Chains A and B, each alone.
Chain A
Amino acid sequence: MTGQLPILTIAPLLFGAFAVTAGRFLFRRANYAVASLALAASFAASVLLAIQILTHGPAIYFVGGWPPPVGISYVADPLSALMLAFVSGAALCTFLASKSEIETSYPLKNSAFYALFLLAVAGHMGIVVTGDAFNLYVLIEVAALSGYAILAQGRERAMLSSLNYLFVGSLGASLYLLGVGYLYIMTGSLNMADLSAIIGRLTPDGLSGSTALAAAWGVILAGLFVKMGLFPFHSWLPAAYSFSAAPAAALVAPLTTKVMAYVLVRMILSVFTPDAAWGVPAINTLILVLATAAILYGSFCALAQRSLRKMLCFILLSEVGYMVGGAFLGNRAGLTGTIYHIFADLLMTLCLFLVAANIERGTGGRFSDMGGLFRRMPVTAAALVLGAASMIGVPPFCGFFSKWYLLSGAIAAESYAFAGALVISSLVNAVLFFRIFEIGFFGAPPDHTGQADQAEPAGESGHGHPGPIPFFRDEMPPARLAPLCLVAASLVVMGLLTGQIVRLVVDPILPPGLG
């Protein structure tokens, strides 16, 4: 049965989605358990697959029994296998951590939410593992369509933000489809490996030898940039993620941008070879400028925000700049940094969005509500510190190592503007998070403010003090904290395992000649 593992990572999610849909009428109370079971099964299969691939080498799965150029194939190499494990693990953690949140955010519709959630995860996992360019398009739409629906519930603006996300997202996916059409008209194939071979034959001297293939690459890039919210195409992202209800944002925000960055890497490595993809210097320079602008824009806009989730959305924009920039530095260190950062950033964003969901429920998401956070929600605040340290790039955390690779890549490529933007963004992140820590340590909680203002001088003289806020006053139940702690701890673990990850996952898939 081990040969069937690639499909078994996705099948439980599909059948789980249908089961919870039917379960709405048949076994409503067990629905949450059914959905968690489906996610857990998918996670288990992904982990087994990753172990199998890392020990026995890559595997290609023929869906329908048809060999690749004719049929659709699933390609499980070290990169996609590890990514599958990360995506399903992240989805499982989000789901376990937000049980009560889902039940209060979507009353009477939680079964529909479970079904949409499971199919969204299935779509993201399919994108990671598919080896067919057109199948990728269908899966992008599966992942996106459920995202549009679940992001639409929330505050008053959520509907409009979600509709704008739908327009932009469909436009991006359509551009990707057009790019695949360009590839198809020039090569006659849709399978990624086959495409790569034919493109190599058609343009032995790089993409600049063929206008249509260079245009295909450009159109696919444009589509992917729109989907991941790179700087000039970013306006949908903060709105869509910050006005929706917390569980939807905690699922979609860590996954979508990272999976799209993964598709970018996949396109560079598997469809166009790195030499061809980086073959047009003007495009590389333009994209590096965009990435640098995205990093700076995201960082400085984050400074202006007054609520935690909105700030995270803008940090997300600058992280997209990291990943895109690293992929176009044109050297091994940069691409390694991008691939490593996809994993690292998935964990960091997941951790911080879960923290944001907890804080919104416990104290309120605006900075002014978060006074005394470290006493009121100590565990959540500790997770916030870990996530923030990783975001800033403090050494043992994974965020440090991805920045290290990106920086050394930028310096090797002599792209000092990008390197400077990376450093500035780290500094701004430090400012952003220390501002929250300051409020959390020294700020007075809003329901105490009235008394605190008067009590401060009185407290010094020894009477009339309302007393310190009790520890754990607003802390979430353990069921919500356990997955969060796991994610926060994994930030350190992944940082310590950096060497192994790069050796086992990144090195085998990069072409050996890459400088």
Chain B
Amino acid sequence: MKRLALFTVILAGVLFAATASEFPRLGDPDSAPSRHLSPAYIQGSLPQTHTPNFVTAVLGDYRGFDTMFETAVVFLAGMSCFFILRALRRRGLTEVYYYRHKPTGVVLAMLAPRRISPRTSCFERIDADWTPQDMVVETMCLFMVPFIQVFALYVIAHGHYSPGGGFQGGVLLAASFILVGLSRDLRTVESLLTEKTAILTAAAGVCLYAGTGLLALFFGGNFLDYGAYASFFGAAVPAARSMGILIVEIGVALTVMATLVTIYKLVSSRGTVEEGL
């Protein structure tokens, strides 16, 4: 089996290599992709969409329809993980619940979960198989979180002018939550961004994107034609397009953040969203 696989793979590789003979050399300024469409984007981006970052202009406007479905794919991944993994009925995964008495450090094992309020009770819930990091790591990580989030907002908002945009910013926002999960525990993440909020945020993000597209129909434009909002914003068409790109980037960021946090929570806790990394 392995020999056969190796043989097939080498054969396919040789075949593929044989097809490369007509390809342009690396960085050829006269290759078809460099000459056919890209000048239209490079020269049209600023006058048509007021966006100096050509990648953002193509992503958010010229090929915004791709990006909308791409956001839908992210949302879909979150829903799929939820559908596959989420254990809605408690069965067999966590049978013992551990509570630590804060002043003495004594740990009690209970067979049923107890409801304790984290602020007033002298007990705290701890994970069965995950010992939290020590205080230095935890404090430093929590200290980092606001900076990561501010930087994420900058990346989203500045995507028109520099590398960045909704996906990158959304991932950074998700990273800040996941850092909390890694340095503290999953329940803290759950209390900051509950599963319900996360799913609703993910749906709201894609809805913001698709809604921006659909609303353009009522202003007389085609789907995703942000130029139709010119009269609404009281600005010229390129400025309206720039604004439209910003709105959909925010939608993308919301969906990416919420979905990645949801997937992290589900996968790290085997679908229970109770304890895990």
Residues of A within 8 A of B (CB): 1, 4, 7, 11, 14-15, 18, 21-22, 24-25, 61-66, 69-72, 106, 108-109, 112-113, 115-116, 119, 122-123, 126, 132, 134-135, 138-139, 141-142, 145-146, 148-150, 152-153, 182, 184-190, 198, 210-212, 215
Contacts and interface: CB of A to CB of B under 8 A. Distances in A.
Contacts of A149: 76, 79-80, 83-84
Interface stretch (B34-42, B96-104, B116-124, B181-189): B34-42
A61 B65 CA distance: 12
A4 B213 CA distance: 12
A152 B37 contact: no
B65 A63 contact: yes
A188 B21 contact: no
Contacts of B239: none
B140 to A, nearest CB: 36
Given A15-B210, A65-B222, A188 B83 contact: no
A247 to B, nearest CB: 13
A65 B82 CA distance: 36
A188 B65 contact: no
10 contacts: A11-B210, A21-B199, A149-B84, A185-B31, A185-B33, A186-B22, A188-B32, A188-B38, A189-B36, A215-B16
Given A186-B32, A212-B23, 14 more contacts: A69-B37, A72-B65, A112-B79, A141-B73, A145-B77, A146-B80, A184-B33, A186-B22, A188-B33, A188-B36, A210-B22, A211-B19, A212-B19, A212-B22
B36 A185 contact: no
B64 interface: yes
Given A21-B79, A145-B77, A189 B207 contact: no
B172 to A, nearest CB: 24
B79 A182 contact: no
A109 B66 contact: no
A145 B224 contact: no
A25 B196 contact: yes
Contacts of B261: none
Interface string B57-86: 000011111100110110011011011101
A69 B63 CA distance: 11
A414 B72 CA distance: 47
B222 A185 contact: no
A7 B223 CA distance: 7
A186 B21 CA distance: 12
Interface in B8-44: 16, 18-24, 31-38, 40-41, 44
A150 B38 CA distance: 39
B19 A215 contact: yes
A21 B203 contact: yes
B88 interface: yes
B206 interface: yes
A309 B236 CA distance: 59
A15 B214 CA distance: 10
Nearest to A7: B223
Contacts of A186: 22-23, 32
B179 interface: no
Contact of A64 (B21, B84, B223): B223
Nearest to B89: A108
Interface in B228-277: 228
Contacts of A184: 33
B109 interface: no
Contacts of B44: 70
A64 B23 contact: no
A35 to B, nearest CB: 14
Interface centre among A18, A22, A24 (most CB of B within 10 A): A18
A180 to B, nearest CB: 12
A61 B207 CA distance: 22
B73 to A, nearest CB: 6
B217 interface: yes
A135 B66 contact: yes
A138 B69 CA distance: 7
B137 interface: no
Contact of B69 (A109, A135, A185, A211): A135
B200 interface: yes
B225 interface: yes
Contacts of A148: 80
Contacts of B64: 63-64
Contact of A65 (B23, B77, B225): B225
Contacts of B217: 1, 4, 7
Interface string B185-226: 000000000001001101110110011001001000111111
Top 4 closest A-B pairs, CB basis? A188-B36, A149-B80, A65-B225, A188-B32
B207 A126 contact: no
Contact of B62 (A25, A70, A215): A70
A270 to B, nearest CB: 18
A64 B222 contact: yes
Contacts of B33: 184-185, 188
Nearest to A138: B69
B76 A146 contact: yes
B227 interface: yes
Given A64-B65, A65-B225, A185-B33, A11 B80 contact: no
A153 B77 CA distance: 16
Contacts of A198: 32, 36
B72 A211 contact: no
A18 B206 contact: yes
Contacts of B88: 108-109
A62 B223 CA distance: 8
Nearest to B23: A185
B34, B203, B204, B225 — which one has the most chain A CB atoms within 10 A of its CB?
B203
B222 A109 contact: no
A14 B72 contact: yes
A193 B44 CA distance: 22
Nearest to A72: B65
A451 B82 CA distance: 47
Contact of B223 (A63, A119, A150, A188): A63
Nearest to A113: B83
B141 to A, nearest CB: 31
A21 B200 CA distance: 7
